[in-house]
Amino acid sequence: MTIIRMCQNAQHISEFAGGYNGTCTQTSAAVCLAAAQNTPTTADDVTALMLSMTKQMIADGTASANGAATLANMAAELRKRGAIIATEWDYQGDRLPQDWHTLIKNNAGVRPILLQLANAQAIHDVSGAAEDQNVHYHAIAVVGIADNGYVVSDPNNPTVASTFDIYNYQALYDASPCGLIMLDMPVPMPAPESRIPTGWRDDGTTLTAPNGLTMTGPMRAYVLDPSHAWRADDIPLEEAHETADSARLIQTCNFSQLRHVQATGDTFTGNIGADLLALEALTASPDAQATALVAALKGAPAVVAALKAIGL
């Protein structure tokens, strides 16, 4: 037997946990959800997920006291937990009218599939052994495909804790599929790429401008963030340094000033236009520009600190 495709983080767990005896749907759903979201990553934690879903559904009135639930209610619970459902065929009778086999053949091992069965007692593994004797309605998780059948986590199988089952098409057909939920795999968001300004160089810790001055820590991170579109000619004119009160880290550049607030971790470009207006007001006639000076200083914390430092 050779595995052709297998879902990530596929687990095989028993439905008989927590004192319940009707949780095959939640058990198979937990296996599918863990595969789709790549978490949790251990059989024990997937069992805990199953029990969490079962308890919540019982509390919500969408499962009976023993945990038994309809496929439609299971789909609703999966959505609450962030699942992306690619296909949902709720119970429409004891055999699905849709082409379930083509869907499973094309997606097994790519997307996890919860398959509901109306005659599970007829199912048998590839060796011919009966698996779910005296069981009628049942749910299993199809998580892969092999050269001799489909890789399945059957929560009623006594050996499920130690191994997957392999069920071929005939076995599934005999068990009469009557419902199906296929989860989609979330598309991973790529990490944003750093953007080194033209003519600058970065060694992974220190960003060096063409004039030899450097940026590190939060200043470097700000410049490399592509959303800030930092100009290549906005080179630093000094190394970063703390303000007199140590509350901020500042670094003045050609066209801007980077400011980092130590307490909050925020980094931003300072309003040096307000600073400039404050300085212009300071050098003009004090009597004529007093009002303008006060207004300008409201937006110029760096200038205020400088004025205080020289006793003004």
Q: Sorting pLDDT into bands at 50, 70 and 90, what band is 102?
A: very high
Mean of pLDDT values over 16-43: 96
Q: Does domain 3-183 have CATH number 3.30.70.260?
A: no
One-letter identity of residue 6? M
Mean pLDDT value across residues 248-252? 94
Residue 253: pLDDT band by 50, 70, 90 thresholds?
very high
Pairwise CA distance, residues 164 & 29, whole Å: 16
If one counts every other C-beta atom within 10 angstroms of the C-beta of residue 39, the result is 13
Q: What is the pLDDT of residue 126?
A: 86
Give whole-number Cα distances, 179 to 28, 133, 186, in Å: 13, 20, 23
Write the secondary structure of the chain as one string of H (helix), E (strand) and C (coil). Answer: CCEEEECCCCCCCCCCCCCCCCCHHHHHHHHHHHHHHCCCCCHHHHHHHHHHHHHHHHHHCCCCCCCCCCHHHHHHHHHHCCCCEEEEECCCCCCCCCCHHHHHHHHCCCCCEEEEECCHHHCECCCCCECCCCCCCEEEEEEEEECCEEEEECCCCCCCCCCCEEECHHHHHHCCEEEEEEECCCCCCCCCCCCCCCCCEECCCCEECCCCCEECHHHHHHHHCHHHCCCCCCCECCCCEECCCCCEEEEEECCCEEEEECCCCCEEECCHHHHHHHHHHHHCCHHHHHHHHHHHHCCCHHHHHHHHHCCC
pTM, two decimals, is 0.62
pLDDT digits (tens, 9 = 90+) for 277-286: 777 777 765 5
Mean pLDDT for 215-226 is: 93
Kindly list the domain boundaries of the chain, sorted by start residue: 3-183, 201-306
pLDDT at residue 68 is higher than 90: yes
pLDDT of residue 129: 74
Angle at 67 between CA 64 and CA 69, to 5 degrees: 70
Going by pLDDT thresholds of 50, 70 and 90, the confidence category of residue 270 is confident
Q: What is the pLDDT of residue 109?
A: 96
Residues of the chain above pLDDT 90, percent: 72
The pLDDT of residue 294: 57
> Using one digit for the tens of pLDDT, what is the confidence trace for 83-96?
999 999 999 999 99
**Spatial distance between the Cα atoms of 21 and 18, rounded to a whole number of angstroms:** 9
